[in-house]
Structure 1
Amino acid sequence: MKKILILGAGIYQVPLIDTARRMGLYTIVASIPGNYPGFSHADEVAYINTTDVESVLKFAREKEIDAITTCGTDVAVATIGTVCEAMGLAGVSRSAALLCTDKAKMKKALWDAGVRTSEFVSVMSEEEACKAAERLGWPVMFKCPDSSGSRGVIRVNDVQEIPEAFRYAMQASRGGHILVERFVSGHEIGLDGVVQGDKIVLWPHDKLTRSNGLTDVPIGHVVPLELGPEEMRDIRQQACTAVRALGIDQSFFNMDIMLCEGKAYIIEIGARIGATCIPEVIGAAGGFDCYEEIVRCALGQKLELTDEVSSVAAAQLLCSDRNGVLESVDAGNVPEDARWTLDVKPGEQVRRFRVGPDRIGQVVVVDGDRAAALRKLKKAVESIHLNYTAETI
């Protein structure tokens, strides 16, 4: 039986673990100890920090694994690249993984390759941040360069906001620096894809967002993206150039893109599939199981995927506007063909939504028409009534 090491045991890794087991693989999950749902789904658990490259590599060699992967998180990608390269496994290279997990290095590589991206400066102090913002022009974005899930990302409108914003972004940074980035306004979209050698398959998608008071956070996605042919060509050209500039190969990837006056600006790229129901909507629209393809990619198998879609798929997270304890759920009017799941059970705590991992469930719908799919999604979300008591966490 082949062994697959999955880094991370959070809610976004659970479907990947379940799929790998269903495909007949022996699943090993690596994560720090904690109340993570993936532990109970795997065949074996290793309590290792997924950013501890040497410990993960030593463990992977001892277990003689056949594949290593993750989904929905950037923090383990550098480790995956190192293990793949050291053990000759299929997957992203160490150099590409390191570029994709440090936004400062990523942005420089994109900029040097002529990829359209917003101007940026890497800073280590409030004084440097202020000078960078004055040069770039207000507003700007402060970003932690080595996190995911919208952690450490905040829009800064003037110099008075810099002290608090700098502390917020720096708290999420492991490397002791943050990015100050020129703010690009427009239509924000997402794009996920997979690359194997000369073949790149792209699935652009619309984002559904919600403000957390600091920035807009994705809470859902819609596939396919509906734009004119010229805009789609520009998106594809910029995306493919970006993938090659970072050296991503034998891997799924996720991009944030801003459309400004018909031009695509690449905001950032992760060398893994995106979170927030992205595998579900891509698979539902394209008629395949995206998690199966992630496993097959990690095993080095050739994928026969295309960017063709046969349906419209839309998904949205279920979120809470306060901390509390879930008491009960009333979902009597949810459309029968809507697929929805909860991450929590009655008696368990929920957190006020700020970033993606604060989700408490998800809804996925499929239809032949975009407007109908969005109406169905709205009805489903509004029909799921979560009853909980307020409580400070």
Structure 2
Amino acid sequence: MKKILLLGGANTQIPSILTAKKMGYYTITCDYLPDNPGHKFADEYHNVSTTDKEAVLALAKELQIDGILAYATDVAAATAAYVSEAMGFPTSPYKSVDILTNKDKFRAFLEENGFCTPRARGYSSVEEAKKDLENFKFPVMVKPVDSAGSKGVARMDDAGQLEELVENALQYSRCKRFIIEEYVEKYRYQIAGDGFSVDGKLVFRCFANEHFSNKAASPYVPIGESFPYDMPKEVHEKVHAEIQRLLTLLDMKTQAYNFDIRIDKDYNVYLMEVGPRNGGNMIAQVIEKATGIPFVEYMLKAAMGEDCSELKMVEPEGFWSCYILHTLKEGNFKRIQYTDEIKKNIVEEHIHVKEGEKLIPFTGSNGTVGVLILRYDSMEEMLHKMDNMYDYITVEVE
């Protein structure tokens, strides 16, 4: 039986563990949180941090694994590439994955290669950034260079906010670096969704509308994604072409990607993030329902060096979304109230917390209460409900 090492056992990683078992692999999970819920589904668990590349490599050699996957986790994507490269497994270059998972390196790469990208620089201290602030046009965004789940991200409208926002960003940076970048005004919805390349060619992508809320604790953390992306075909194709140019320059191979992309009113494409892994929030599961493509299986096959050449582009059918359940205020979880208008749309409900559990306001993925998968009758219904979910869903706390 072939062995696969799956990096992480959080709720978001459970689909990869269950699918790997269904495909007949011996599943091994690792991270530094033994109580993570995914580990109970695996055949074996090891208490090794997914960000410790050398420790994971040592574990992989000891266990004589046949493949490794970082599912829905940016922080472990570089580790998976590092281990794969060291063990001779098929992989995109570690150097390229490292660029894609570090915001300052990614922005520099985009600038060097003529992509549309905001002015951005990375720093290690407030003092360093202060000297450079005059070169930026406000507003700007302050972000950890290597965080996940939008944690530590904030908008800065004047220099007086610098120390507070940098301190917040550095809390979520493992390498203790942050980036300042000029704010990019988006035209209509930000583009989310996932894609997949085979031998470096982007053969499949499923773009989504990314939804945010000014009522949430942070208006820069997405509250959900809806499919398909509501723009003409030529916009889809232009975005696809820019992603392909990036993948070619980075010599990417066979693997999944998660997108955060903006276009302006002239349809210029800004690749805000192209994560070398699939998205969280059950995006892969929504894509499977909308296209019929067994997306998670392809990720596992790629990790195990199996042939993925039969994967082809399939447009989504119907109108689908994933919505991140969250609270607007701190308190102990009581229940979730749904109106009749939204109940008819819910296809799957995944709750990650128990009654009485302490909840925090939604400023990142650590504030996720659960995830819904929903289906709608029209684009109009989908976009209206996704943009007004607080009218239909209440997460009650006490």
Residue 258 of structure 2 corresponds to residue 249 of structure 1: no
Aligned to 1:129: 129
Question: Secondary structure at 2:33's aligned position in 1?
Answer: coil
Residue 235 of structure 2 corresponds to residue 231 of structure 1: yes
Task: For 2:154 and 2:269, locate their aligned partners in 1 and report how far apart those are by CA, in whole Å.
Answer: 21
Question: Secondary structure at 2:246's aligned position in 1?
Answer: helix
**CA offsets per residue over residues 53-98 of structure 1, 9 Å max, x none?**
1111111111111121122221111110111111122333211221
1:31–1:50 contact (8 Å) kept in structure 2: yes
**CA offsets per residue over residues 234-269 of structure 1, 9 Å max, x none?**
212211112223332211111211111221111122
Aligned to 1:219: 223
- Counterparts of 1:1-393 in structure 2 under 5 Å? 1-187=1-187, 188-200=190-202, 201-211=204-214, 212-261=216-265, 262-303=267-308, 304-329=311-336, 333=340, 334-335=343-344, 338-367=347-376, 369-374=378-383, 386-389=395-398
Q: TM-score, normalised by structure 1?
A: 0.91
Aligned residue identity for 2:320: A
Task: For 2:218 and 2:380, locate their aligned partners in 1 and report how far apart those are by CA, in whole Å.
Answer: 30
RMSD: 2.3
Displacement, 1:384? 5.5
**CA offsets per residue over residues 2-23 of structure 1, 9 Å max, x none?**
1111101111111111111122
Displacement, 1:169? 1.5
Task: For 2:396 and 2:105, locate their aligned partners in 1 and report how far apart those are by CA, in whole Å.
Answer: 45
Structure 1 window deviating more from structure 2 (217-226 vs 105-114): it is 105-114
| Contiguous gaps of at least 5 residues in structure 2 | none
Task: For 1:375 and 1:181, locate their aligned partners in 2 and report how far apart those are by CA, in whole Å.
Answer: 31
Task: For 1:214 and 1:387, locate their aligned partners in 2 and report how far apart those are by CA, in whole Å.
Answer: 19
Displacement, 1:383? 5.8
1:143–1:180 contact (8 Å) kept in structure 2: yes
Aligned residue identity for 2:373: V
Displacement, 1:366? 2.6
Q: TM-score, normalised by structure 2?
A: 0.90
1:81–1:96 contact (8 Å) kept in structure 2: no
Structure 1 window deviating more from structure 2 (212-221 vs 329-338): it is 329-338
1:335–1:376 contact (8 Å) kept in structure 2: no
Question: Secondary structure at 1:243's aligned position in 2?
Answer: helix
Task: For 1:95 and 1:290, locate their aligned partners in 2 and report how far apart those are by CA, in whole Å.
Answer: 25
Question: Secondary structure at 2:244's aligned position in 1?
Answer: helix
1:277–1:316 contact (8 Å) kept in structure 2: no
Displacement, 1:280? 2.0
Change (3 A) 1:9 1:143: same
Change (3 A) 1:94 1:370: same
Displacement, 1:192? 1.9
Aligned residue identity for 1:312: F
Change (3 A) 1:327 1:309: closer
Displacement, 1:300? 2.1
**CA offsets per residue over residues 130-175 of structure 1, 9 Å max, x none?**
3433212111111111111112221110111111112112222222
Displacement, 1:327? 3.7
Structure 1 window deviating more from structure 2 (124-133 vs 20-29): it is 124-133
2:346–2:373 contact (8 Å) kept in structure 1: no
Structure 1 window deviating more from structure 2 (202-211 vs 330-339): it is 330-339
1:284–1:366 contact (8 Å) kept in structure 2: no
**CA offsets per residue over residues 14-69 of structure 1, 9 Å max, x none?**
11111111222211111103531112221111100111111111111111111211
Change (3 A) 1:82 1:170: same
